[in-house]
Amino acid sequence: MLKIQLHNKYIRNFTGIICINVENTTKYLRKIFEYEAQGKKAFNINGIDVGIKEFTIISPLTTLDTLYNFNTKGTLNKIINEYDLNIEKLINKNYLQNVANKINKRIGWELININESPVKIFKSMYEVEGNKFIDDDLLHNFFQNAQQNEKQNIILKDFDDISVAKLLQFSNNFNIIILTNNAFNLVKSPSEVTLINFVGSDLISLENLEAENIFEYFIEEYFQKPFDCIGEDAIYTKDVMENMKKSLFLK
């Protein structure tokens, strides 16, 4: 279960992923940071308070080198350690040790030693490209590569081309919050619509649909047709979403 404490509201159907639809995502994030500046934490996940700084925030302006770096706990470090590297093929240990011995003798103390860490060797030989921005495919690969035993917290902000259906497969390994101003661009089924939470213009009120049949009934009334006779391209548009919000929440 997820509680968004800024709204004092429980998301009872939370199983690892939700979508928050808000007109201005940057303004909403600022509201969260301001809330936490008062000594509070904005989220409670399964009974544990979680702050915004415990989330990795990823947007279309995020570059690959931000997600993959040589930090000790970074994903790139994890990938490197998965390979059984032959250090003998990477460095001439005898030569390096001979140089180290000469330096230490000159100093008069065993000051330097060979560090055989594969990550440190990689870091000295390779550099990370920093000009590639994240896209849907690269984001999908990141989720596959970054899985750990402990659930990680991710906020995806302002992506127009990601698929909620594709992200659902990672909900066992990540707590994912999607921030967008057009959630209907990311969902393609009634079950996915129930994952959307709509934040009002005051940035405080929050509403959602807890049942698929409510959404289906609205669509049938809106189009005056059976749900199964209406195409996805007609249903999942921003105009339909805005009319649904007005009809169901703004009474």
The pLDDT averaged over each successive group of 10 residues in the chain (251 residues) is 91 91 96 96 94 96 86 75 76 89 91 83 78 91 88 95 92 96 94 94 89 94 95 94 88 52
Task: Write down the pLDDT at residue 25.
Answer: 97
First to last CA, the chain: 28
Q: According to CATH, where is 3.40.50 located in the chain?
A: 2-65+133-248
- The Cα 145–Cα 4 span in angstroms is 28
- The Cα 191–Cα 55 span in angstroms is 25
CATH of domain 2-65+133-248: 3.40.50
pTM higher than 0.75, yes or no?
Answer: yes
Find residue 48's DSSP bridge partners: 45
Q: How far is CA 104 from CA 110, 115, 117, 125, 154, in A?
A: 5, 15, 21, 24, 47
The alpha carbon of residue 223 and the mean position of all alpha carbons in its chain are separated, in whole angstroms, by: 35
For residues 25 and 181, is the Cβ–Cβ distance under 8 A? yes
Task: Write down the pLDDT at residue 217.
Answer: 95
User: What is the gyration radius of the CA atoms in the chain, in angstroms?
Assistant: 24
215, exposed or middle or buried, with CB in 10 Å at 0-12, 13-18, 19+? Answer: buried
Token pair for residue 171? 């909900």
- The Cα 81–Cα 2 span in angstroms is 34
Element (DSSP H or E) covering residue 138 = helix 136-145
DSSP 151: -
Among the listed residues 101, 102, 146, 96, the one whose alpha carbon sits nearest the alpha carbon of residue 121? 96
Tokens 């093929």 belong to which residue? 89
- The Cα 20–Cα 199 span in angstroms is 7
Beta strands 174-180 and 17-21 are parallel
Token pair for residue 107? 């100093």
- The Cα 184–Cα 175 span in angstroms is 20
- CB neighbourhood size of 124 (10 A): 11
Among the listed residues 11, 9, 24, 10, the one whose alpha carbon sits nearest the alpha carbon of residue 203? 24
Q: Long-range contacts: 25-33, Cβ < 8 Å, 24+?
A: 25/157, 25/158, 25/179, 25/180, 25/181, 27/203, 28/179, 28/199, 28/203, 29/57, 29/155, 29/157, 29/179, 31/6, 31/203, 32/6
For residues 155 and 56, is the Cβ–Cβ distance under 8 A? yes
